[in-house]
Amino acid sequence: MTNAPPITRLADITAYAEAVQLAVDSSAAYYADGTSTLDDDAYDRLVRGIQAYEEAHPEQVLPSSPTGKVAGGAVVGDVPHTIAMLSLDNVFGPEQLADWAASLERRLGRPVTAWSVEPKLDGLAISARYRGGRLAQLVTRGDGTAGEDVSHAIGTIVGLPARLAEPVTVEVRGEVMMTTSQFEEACAKRTAHDGTTFANPRSAAAGTLRAQDRPYVCELTFFGYGALPAPEDDSEPAVSLRELPHSQIMEWAARQGVQTTAATPVAGIVTDTLERVQERVGEIAAARATLPFGIDGIVIKCDLAADQARAGFSSRAPRWAVAFKLPPVEKVTRLLAVEWNTGRTGVIAPRAVLEPVELDGSIVTYATLHNVADITRRGLMLGDSVVVYKAGDVIPRVESPVVHLRTGEEQPIAIPQVCPSCGDAIDTSQERWRCVRGRQCRAIASIVYAVGRDQLDIEGLAENRIKQLLDAGLIADFADLFFLTREQLLGLERMGETSTDNLLAAIERARTRPLSRVFAALGVRGTGRSMSRRIARHFATMEAIRAADAEAIQQVEGIGPEKAPVVVSELIEIGPLIDKLVKAGVNMTEPGATGPTATTAEPSSELPLAGMSVVVTGAMTGPLEPLSRNEMNELVERAGGKSSSSVSARTSLLVAGEKAGSKRAKAESLGVRIVTPEEFAELVAALL
């Protein structure tokens, strides 16, 4: 929920003319088969730049300009629409939405008493024509007045029934798209056929909808967003929809068997206040990252037919509806290089080096590629134009190459033959390649992580000191730290009596850390600090964790059938390290936890944060000032809550410290309860 993104500035009439041609060409490709030289955000900025230039130089406006035209004026169809299929005007933030609503109410001469709020689906608008209840024709939006007949796609679109529940003659309008799973299946089919892939779900849906001669069939999904009465025809029954509110029309469509968003987390609502409209916008935006289909905004419209009729239409859009656009979560940029890094557990991971691109409010220069198999599946090459996406707090990821933008100068990505860290062999038996030396390959990194503040918190052990201990042969892993003697440390360079005693005292304190910290220090693949806390609380002892099989591990929240066997095998692999820690007397229990079979555990409902999802942001003050973010999350979970890093409609409480920033703004828009660090300290005082 940000203000409008920057526009493309056009210096003179030459730049303006070039921009118009680029916009028209891009729009034509976009609506034809989903290909385009511009991503959605770049296109929007370009068109706003064209519009700004035309407002300043009205005498220079070109007839081919995309402004004021449906689909940018680039699409022509041969099947006339009974009623024009128009575009929507856009707003980019709460202030612009409020201004639009005020302007609409001035036009109506009265307040809007019923607002409809629903997601703006990221697909292709289509008209489905039913005669006597039978699906007879599919027509694309085209230029708004006429579209293309794509009736050959009947039978391949989920959510668009071949017959309605009633034998009515009606036109259902909605969005055709690919869900995440449908997109993955379509990419697999295309790769198997010709070795290429689709750039994104929207382009895949566009190409699939129009394809008639492919040797494979890709499934699509339809979500209805409206229904119109058919032209009067006495020979066929017609349904009366003209005077119904939009929300009742959608209810009718759902009863006919047409899929709508009603059963999704972003179902449409009706409200009588703009405040609730703004809240719902925030709720839908927060759910975006978790949806199995793409949305790029929220549609706000007058629900009542009388208000719609009174407001009327412009040349390209209804005046009674607007799209609240969300920041783009994907962009197109160039893949410049691939870096190969060995992690602290020995896993070899590729990282994409990108031409810098602004994505979801930040500049992205790197993105994950996961593994060699991932690169191969996506058919990536150096120099490719690639789709990069980021949803919510997810790390940027390269989705796919934009094949139609290839120039022929792209080069294969070089795959390492030996470990990029130590030069030893690579174990390629699993999808995630590992150095054959495992954790020993990056012993320094592994130990640095283990002794960090959020794990064992051993002060005085900087990376150079750890390297000194390794070079001297005094340690091979972090468990060896607990066997160091005063004499050994005094024998090292730059280790006097005071620094030696301080380090030994810090190591002694680390011996008493809770099991969750010790487990985190182990660096088990597939777990992090938060998951380590969940595992420790669930099993209570290291002995119970090591005795658990994959089925038992799956009982921990957040561990699924794929991750559980990895955790089990990791625990077996690092068994000698754990044995060494036990021998050293390191604590192997979690305070307050009683294990999965206990019957005397304190009821979670008695804890102050029982059942609550809590997000901590900003700098803590007061009694909480000394706590790190991880320690704050530990406190939340000891109090019965679940710590989270992002604000959503499911967030129960936000602890907002100094400079809370965007998370506080999102919480306010969603109506999430917000407390100061001092108020939170009072809430959990018994646990401090």
Could you tell me the two tokens for 345?
């557990």
Q: CA-CA distance, 20 to 521, in Å (whole number)?
A: 58
What is the chain's alpha carbon radius of gyration, rounded to the nearest angstrom? 30
Pairs from 152-155 (Cβ < 8 Å, separation ≥ 24):
152/212, 153/208, 153/209, 153/220
**What is the end-to-end Cα distance of the chain in Å, rounded?**
37
Could you tell me the two tokens for 142?
């085209």
- Which residue type does 148 have? E
Among candidate residues 39, 663, 36, the one with its CA nearest the CA of residue 332 = 39
Torsion sign over Cα 583, 587, 588, 594: positive
Contacts of 465 (CB under 8 A, 6+ apart): none
Q: CA-CA distance, 32 to 43, in Å (whole number)?
A: 16
Instruction: Give the neighbor-by-neighbor strand order of the sheet with 321-325.
Output: 89-91, 321-325, 295-302, 115-121, 269-271
Q: Cα 198–260–304 angle (5° rounding)?
A: 125
Element (H, E) at 446: helix 443-450
Residues written for the chain: 688
Q: Are 340 and 349 in contact, with CB atoms under 8 Å apart? A: yes
DSSP helix/strand/coil, 535: helix
Q: CA-CA distance, 278 to 202, in Å (whole number)?
A: 27
120 is catalytic: yes
Among candidate residues 111, 487, 29, the one with its CA nearest the CA of residue 277 = 111
DSSP helix/strand/coil, 552: helix
Q: Are 102 and 282 in contact, with CB atoms under 8 Å apart? A: no
Q: Are 687 and 639 in contact, with CB atoms under 8 Å apart? A: yes
Q: CA-CA distance, 70 to 256, in Å (whole number)?
A: 29
Burial class (CB in 10 A: 0-12, 13-18, 19+), 9: exposed
**Which of these is catalytic: 120, 563, 580, 666?**
120
Among candidate residues 28, 27, 31, the one with its CA nearest the CA of residue 43 = 27
DSSP helix/strand/coil, 153: helix
Helix axes 13-33, 40-56, angle to 10 degrees: 140
Q: Are 442 and 451 in contact, with CB atoms under 8 Å apart? A: no
Active site residues: 120
